[in-house]
Amino acid sequence: MEDRNSDRYEILRQLALAGVRGEELQSAIRLSLEQAARVVGLQGAAVYLWDDKMNINIAVSYAVSEVSRDNLDAMEKNLFSSLRREHRLLSAYLSFGGEKPYHSFSLPLYHHQKIFGAVTGIQEGDKKLVGEDVFLEALSAAIALNVIAGQAASEAVSGRDIIDQERLKAIIEVAVTINHEVNNPLTAILGNVQLMLLNQETLDENLRNKLKIIEISALKIKDVTQKLLRLSSARTIKYADDTDMIDLSDEEAD
């Protein structure tokens, strides 16, 4: 009995760790179903995730044979699915007679009372699945938490993307303003300096050198304002202890 409990604990532990590590959801679920099937003695098990209208958008399953997989699919489509839609089925442990008795179960995946999927399974023989209810319910809870953790991580990434997009939009707005307000006087400065340099042979060397410095600096300012307009991300780099500055390194590489 202790070894059996240890196997069940290990399945739940590995599933929890997969969620913490952010492993690919369907692979983690499929592995846990395979391990649970071996420990409990299932011919097949599946996890179904659905949208708000109960349309299945993710289905992950494990079966020992194609026949078992077909039986598992038929049980979901012909029985559990209709019971959920028409009679608001939450959970069930069912046994069927015949030459080869078999048993099936369906348990909900939910979070804060919202059901978003189910775990189902089938088993052949005289052994009844209701005796495994504690482990199967723990398994369904662990799978539900894994799904929620994955969704939360995805939403967090989406949230960061939105923030980055808003920051980039603000930076570009500032860049447009700078180009509008700076480029006009900058063009006048640069034009006059370059006009004076056309006759540089007549200028004092010291003055000529200072005009070239002004020209180079003005061209640099113009280049930076153009790079701001071409920004494709809102990345920053450290400028001082408590101050960041926009990272133009990619644009400079271009």
Q: What is the pLDDT of residues 187-244, one digit of tens each?
A: 888 888 888 888 888 888 888 888 889 989 988 888 887 777 666 566 677 777 667 7
Q: What is the mean pLDDT of residues 26-42?
A: 92
Structure tokens at 194: 């370059």
Query: What is residue 230's predicted lDDT score, i.e. its pLDDT?
Result: 67
| 92 φ/ψ sector (left φ>0, alpha ψ -120 to 50, else beta) | beta
Structure tokens at 202: 């007549």
Query: What is residue 254's predicted lDDT score, i.e. its pLDDT?
Result: 38
Q: What is the pLDDT of residues 48-107, one digit of tens each?
A: 999 888 889 899 999 999 999 999 999 999 999 999 999 999 999 999 888 888 899 999
Residue by residue, what is the 3-state secondary structure of the chain? CHHHHHHHHHHHHHHHHHHHHCCCHHHHHHHHHHHHHHHHCCCEEEEEEECCCCCEEEEEEEECCHHHHHHHHHHHHHHHHHHHHHHCCCCEEEEECCCCCEEEEEEEEEECCEEEEEEEEEEECCCCHHHHHHHHHHHHHHHHHHHHHHHHHHHHHHHHHHHHHHHHHHHHHHHHHHHHHHHHHHHHHHHHHHHHHCCHHHCCHHHHHHHHHHHHHHHHHHHHHHHHHCCCCCCEEEEECCEEEECCHHHHHC
Q: How far is CA 214 from CA 17, 139, 210, 221, 233, in A?
A: 61, 72, 6, 11, 31
Please tell me which residue, 70 or 155, carries the higher pLDDT value: 70
Q: How far is CA 219 from CA 61, 190, 191, 215, 216, in A?
A: 63, 8, 11, 6, 5
CATH number 3.30.450.40 is the correct assignment for the domain at 2-158: yes
Contact 118, 47 (CB under 8 A): yes
Identify the CA nearest to 72 among candidates 36, 104, 50. 104
> CB atoms < 10 A from the CB of 45, how many?
28
Contact 95, 101 (CB under 8 A): yes
Q: How far is CA 92 from CA 43, 96, 112, 229, 237, in A?
A: 17, 13, 20, 61, 57
